[in-house]
Structure 1
Amino acid sequence: MRAAVIGLGVEGKKAVNSLLKHGWDVYATDLNMNVDLDGLDLPNLSMNLIEDSQSVSIVGDKITVDLGFSNSYAIEECDAIAISPSMFGGAFANRLLESNELLCDVVCGHRDLFTIGITGTNGKTTTVHMLKSILEDAGRKVLVGGNGGGGFSGYYDLILEANEGDYDILLVEVCDMTLDFANYCFDFDMVGLTNIGNDHMDVHKTIANYKDSLVRFFSNKTIFTAYNQDFNSDFKESASQTIPYFVYQDELKLFGKFNMLNAGLAAAIAKELKVPKDIIRQSLANFNAVEGRLDVYKINDADVYVGKTDNSDALASILAERNFYALFIGTPRHHEEHRLDILDVAVQYNPEVIVLFPGLDDTLDIAIYRLNSLGYMGNIITVNTLDQIIELVAEYSHEDAILIGGNGQETIIEIQERIKLISEKL
């Protein structure tokens, strides 16, 4: 079998890797010749590189990658096509829908599984892992994946694995930017909404537009929304059944009311699936923070909180529950200046120190300018290495609390691993 992958963003690269892993031949293309291929598992042997001033072709035993152009004949020869979720709804994608050439239509065993989607702005990954833990403790065979940006192997990997494995339940993390794409690819029996927050506004433009996307996504489905969620009346009109969930009241290791709500969502879905209450309670009581998500470590006198908080609502939910002497904030990509509004929230809570480090990109100068324009009067420090961050954590470790967050999941995981090692040695 041979597949074409159109677009080599996060999902496209993960699709290539998954197709190769599952034994497919792959033709991959991106019109941007300078696309970042980091994370793409290109074979090391028997490879030829063909390059001119406007295009690049990489030819291997099982894969051909064309950058700067697309070979329409090579695409036509493929058995299935995987497109970037951002292309869904466009003319090319619509043409593929008519001919049933999309990978999710060619490989469709995943649609036979009971499928649960978890979407929202913040808390998706934690909620997915909470629910997975509960269901597995209840004896269910659960396949988990979805949104590549959430640390999973992407939607296409989930589709391919579901077609080959023996599972009872498919549990999908759905990014709020890919709602229409996911709605087409998967047959959701239940959907849980964690929250609606201020992120990806470069795509949604307004919260109202985001809400309208959710209304389409929820149509004729059983949905779970927080008891106090904005737009619940709109969602109720669209869904076939709306089930409210509440703040979890039993034992949980994780910090924050927001995690108690995540646990409340996972528990509500599990209850609807007839999982016994004692299994739900025991599973959540034993649940540990997901790698890269907020966790707390003790270093000397300080509680050191580390986890991705890449939008203003995520940061505000933490700062509302604890006073922090210092905030360490990873900066966003150059084209994501909208995410700098996390600095607006940071300034509102007026920590003594704000430490800036490159999260997704080195946009330190832009972040410093933002802080100065906001009138922040505390100490601004910039660092570029993990060792420099650790040195400052040690310096502030006799204060009450420190938060390390912001953008850059991989960078924050690296920081988290180092902090954890130090904490365990003390």
Structure 2
Amino acid sequence: MKISDLLHELNLDTSLYNELKDIDVTGIADNSKDVKNGYIFVANEGYQLDGHDYIPNAIQNGAILVIGEKNIPNQETPYIQVENSRKVLGVLSKRFYHNPSKDKFMIGITGTNGKTTTSYLIKHILEKHGKTCSIIGTIQNTINGQNIPSFNTTPSALTINKLISESNDEVVIMEVSSHGLTQHRMEGIELDIGIFTNLYHEHLDYHRTMEEYFQAKLLLFNHLKDNGCVITNTNNEWGEKLVLILKERGIPIYSIGELENSDIQLLDFLLDESLIVVKEADKTLQLTSSMPGIHNMYNTAMAYLTARKTGVPSEAIITALPSFQGVNGRFETYKQDNMPTVIVDYAHTPDAIFHCIASAKSYGAKRIIHVFGFRGNRDQTKRPQMLEITSTYSSNYILTFDDLNNVPEEKMHKTLEELQHKFGNHKGSIIPDRTLAIQHAIEIAGESDWVVITGKGHEEYQHSFSLETTSDKETVQYIMNQLSAQKIPN
């Protein structure tokens, strides 16, 4: 593709670079290490690194044009200064990859909790109905049946367009974060269905207020195709607000909720049978939730309504749901004879933690021992609420380390002590080493007790701990196998 064709949509004065207009662009990169001969390099200012500092590296690697936000005079290689280089990256990516989202059935999911589980539920249902699906999200990206590591819930616009262009699948399902929306990572992407799961206290270190957080999520619905629609959960005040806003815009919106006018009305939750009773039009249906907890029943209902809007018959969805195998790191259950039930979950918000503990109670846990921590340099305003919830609803809790994110261990330990003193109670203790905290929780729990470990889910540890394990899941399996081999009663 010619440079002039790529820059056309930007409406920039490119008269200084007429000598380049007939040169072919071989690629686009926002990381100087990825630049090759014939590439355009787009410099973005990040939180830790500034792409403008790596312009010399990009030029050395073969960049024929550089685009950035800063005034950088006396560049031998042509340089275009723009107001927002992230947005420009999206425009260029869309054009370079020939607007790939227009040829796919695109589903984008945003919300505080439930994005990952809902996306995998939708994928499972659609694939059971014979449709092939790609997925772009938190755990990994799956394109044409191949799993690719994921480093962000929502990758850059360049990566998204590239992944979609490489996909031979009929449907692409995306998790869309508020950070991704405000940083223009969805620039140039068009959706057939936009989904809003819920909104709870999270990321207020970035968004400052819940209203600002909501407005960031609202940006998703600027990316709908002309015939696109929205699906929302109205059992959440922000979902109700979304309905009012989008109806004023004339955007078709469908809902799950307890009100009679909901498109999928929630009638009852049969936890013992893992069923949710819903009403669609004049028909009452029972949906199987193969993952425990009321929160996963909401995710199931959202997935059901989404599948219906893609044209899947209700009978086919009901048949598909029981075979869903769950999601990596989402309420994963471990149980061995004479040992407690252990749950590993990604929950890292007050609401998500509440639902994890509540789910354990609803399934008959005699006692609940909760192991969790706080991420360094992340939203500190949610920490007191998280601690108050576990202090109230768990039998015992253990505060431990999560990702420190460059916070010194001594400082984080002191933070845990201060939080425990101010917001905790006598049920709590502190064991900084995460693997030893998990080991202690399992060793003191009885066979009828549940150990709930939250915060990391599918993620690997960033730090080394006493046990040579790499994740909560691996730690749990190691400890339970050791205890089983030693035949230590619990």
Partner residue of 1:165? 167
TM alignment of 1:83-122, pairs within 5 A = 91-93=83-85, 96=88, 102-107=92-97, 108-122=99-113
> Which shows bigger deviation, 133-142 or 377-386?
377-386
Q: Is the 8 A contact 1:130 1:266 kept in 2?
A: yes
Partner residue of 1:222? 229
Shift of 1:208: 2.1
Residues 162-194 of structure 1 show CA distances to partners (whole Å, capped at 9, x for unaligned) of 213322122111012323525533111111111
Partner residue of 1:355? 399
2:473 pairs with 416, 420, 424, which one? 416
2:342 is aligned with what amino acid?
A: V
Q: Is the 8 A contact 1:311 1:339 kept in 2?
A: yes
TM alignment of 1:47-66, pairs within 5 A = none
TM-score by length of 2: 0.66
1:315 pairs with 331, 338, 353, which one? 353
Residues 25-54 of structure 1 show CA distances to partners (whole Å, capped at 9, x for unaligned) of 685867679659xxxxxxxxxxxxxxxxx9
1:141 pairs with 120, 129, 132, which one? 132
TM-score by length of 1: 0.75
Partner residue of 2:379? 336
2:249 pairs with 219, 238, 243, which one? 238
1:176 pairs with 166, 175, 178, which one? 178
Shift of 1:368: 2.2
| Structure of larger gyration radius | 2
The answer as to 2:29 corresponding to 1:4 is yes
Q: Is the 8 A contact 2:155 2:185 kept in 1?
A: no
Provide the aligned C-alpha RMSD in A: 3.9
1:5 is aligned with what amino acid?
A: D
CA distance in structure 1 between the aligned counterparts of 2:77 and 2:442, rounded to whole angstroms: 52
CA distance in structure 2 between the aligned counterparts of 1:35 and 1:145, rounded to whole angstroms: 24
1:265 pairs with 302, 306, 311, which one? 302
1:207 pairs with 205, 210, 224, which one? 210
2:92 is aligned with what amino acid?
A: L
Q: Is the 8 A contact 1:131 1:270 kept in 2?
A: yes
Q: Is the 8 A contact 1:144 1:158 kept in 2?
A: no
| Pair 105,369 (structure 1): closer, same or farther in 2 beyond 3 Å | farther
The answer as to 2:331 corresponding to 1:298 is no
CA distance in structure 1 between the aligned counterparts of 2:319 and 2:62, rounded to whole angstroms: 46
The answer as to 2:117 corresponding to 1:126 is yes
CA distance in structure 2 between the aligned counterparts of 1:268 and 1:211, rounded to whole angstroms: 23
| Pair 274,106 (structure 1): closer, same or farther in 2 beyond 3 Å | same
Count residues in correspondence. 383
Partner residue of 2:293? 256
- Secondary structure at 2:178's aligned position in 1? coil
Highest RCO, 1 vs 2 (Cα 8 Å, sep ≥ 6): 1
| Pair 74,229 (structure 1): closer, same or farther in 2 beyond 3 Å | farther
Kindly, what percent of the aligned residue pairs are identical?
21
1:419 is aligned with what amino acid?
A: V
1:345 is aligned with what amino acid?
A: I
CA distance in structure 2 between the aligned counterparts of 1:131 and 1:338, rounded to whole angstroms: 33
Q: Is the 8 A contact 1:117 1:174 kept in 2?
A: yes
CA distance in structure 2 between the aligned counterparts of 1:390 and 1:179, rounded to whole angstroms: 39
- Secondary structure at 2:419's aligned position in 1? helix
Partner residue of 2:414? 365
Task: Identify unmatched segments of 5+ residues in structure 1.
Answer: 9-15, 37-53, 82-89
2:341 is aligned with what amino acid?
A: D
